[in-house]
Amino acid sequence: ITRPEDFARAARILETEEKMNIRPDVRLGNGYDVHRFGPGDSVILCGVEIPHDRSLQGHSDADVGMHAVTDAIYGALAQGDIGQHFPPSDPQWKGAASEIFLRHAANLAGDMGFQISNVDCTLVCEYPKIGPHAPKMRAVMAEILGIDANRVSIKATTSERLGFTGRSEGIASLATAALVKP
């Protein structure tokens, strides 16, 4: 919009879209997950096994990144959370690969007529260092989600040695997913 007549044109376009009900349905969801460290020699983050002096503990493989993104997609769809779809009380999910959960959320989005536009995942930890593994994480997540890797953001931050992540007691993850129904 650069000239006064552009306002009138924009109003006509919006009015036409509204009458024809052709506005896209855009949804945003967020997710959050936490897992504590326990004995082990690696962690699985966003589908990538990373050598570490401990492992994350959980009912499944404890992939906090995938869990947060899964919950973000469920949230955008208003379909609850990962625990509702895959109850931790159900023994069939003991030790399960988090790829199962993420693929289910992505397929549910498609079944409901949505396309995943992009996801953004932040891992909060002092160690292991995420940067060297982020490209592979993006590729793994993109493949599962059925989107281009340039639509998947994986980044990390520390908590400046504050709180449970700062004391290296565990890892947290936050995620946002944007879904569009054309």
Question: Cβ neighbours of residue 11 under 8 Å, at least 6 residues apart?
Answer: none
Residue 90 DSSP class? S
Three-class SS state of 10: helix
**Full-prediction pTM beyond 0.95?**
no
Q: Which tens digits make up the pLDDT trace of 38-67?
A: 999 999 999 999 999 999 999 899 999 999
**Domains defined along the chain, listed by start:** 23-181 (3.30.1330.50)
The whole-angstrom separation of Cα 44 and Cα 63 is 5
The whole-angstrom separation of Cα 179 and Cα 31 is 14
- pLDDT-derived band of residue 13, with 50, 70 and 90 as boundaries? confident
Residue 85, pLDDT score: 96
Three-class SS state of 123: strand
